[in-house]
Structure 1
């Protein structure tokens, strides 16, 4: 009995044709997938932009309301309508962070002064002022 070769001519041609078809479809499939991803990203961006437009439109409507404008003027700018007595109550919120409680706030010099001092200290061989003060 004669042994048949494992790879016949027809099988080799079929394999080459299948590889050629696969190679010819690889680029269009990759382009299709890339375009689908890009469409998805653009749809997400469109949704974000539409939400931003809606928020800005709501803000525009709010700013067109005269009652809102008056209330904001009273709250933010401490405006007072004619004929009314207005009071500003100074509480913890007004003094917070101003340093009026007797605490001394440490003032740091600008970065360029610190840099120049370090250059001068390196030139004279002495330590930096901040390093000497803390050390």
Structure 2
């Protein structure tokens, strides 16, 4: 009976019988067993659970990624601060050396020892600055400094 059930002759015979009995019987035959939808209740529940987990974990994951980048940035800043502290310690050690302090005073402030003669070399750039350095060697260094500040203020 199982083999006859699916043969073409058996189907045609059943269809003919159904047509003779009326259109309602033919409709029942054509409809066959009810179709099951592809989305079962379990699959829908699983999809709902997965979506809920994604939504529930999205914000904490975003926070975690943000915090990780903040931590990396803070580590970078810490390393830069350590490097700056080391540079400042080195500078402090150099400033504790009297020879270095004397060299800086000679270079930047044009200090000379008693009995030495100080010379200033002009670069010869030909700028039209008024010569205010006449007699500058005879004045104290702080007067020259203040004159330089006043002069630069007037040339703006």
TM range (shorter): 0.5 to 0.7
RMSD: 2.5
- Shift, 1:18, TM fit: 0.9
What is aligned with 1:40?
72
The structural deviation recorded for 1:98 is: 5.6
TM-score where L is the length of structure 1: 0.64
User: Structure 1 stretches of 5 or more lacking a match?
Assistant: 102-109, 111-135
Equivalent position of 1:121 in the other structure: none
Give distance in 1, aligned partners of 2:75 and 2:128: 47
4+ residue stretches of structure 1 with deviation over 3 A?
Answer: 95-98
Q: Which residue of 1 aligns with 2:119?
A: 88
> What corresponds to 2:129 in structure 1?
99
Instruction: Identify which of 3, 15, 24 aligns with 2:56.
Output: 24
Q: Which residue of 2 aligns with 1:10?
A: 42
Cα offset for 1:87? 2.6
Give the match for residue 75 of structure 1: 107
1:41-93, CA deviations, whole angstroms, 9 ceiling, x for partnerless residues? 101111111111111111111111100111111222222223x4223132216
Decide whether aligned partners of structure 1 residues 20 and 96 sit closer, same or farther in structure 2, where only a CA change above 3 A counts: farther
SS in 2 for 1:92: coil
Aligned positions, number? 101
Larger radius of gyration: 2
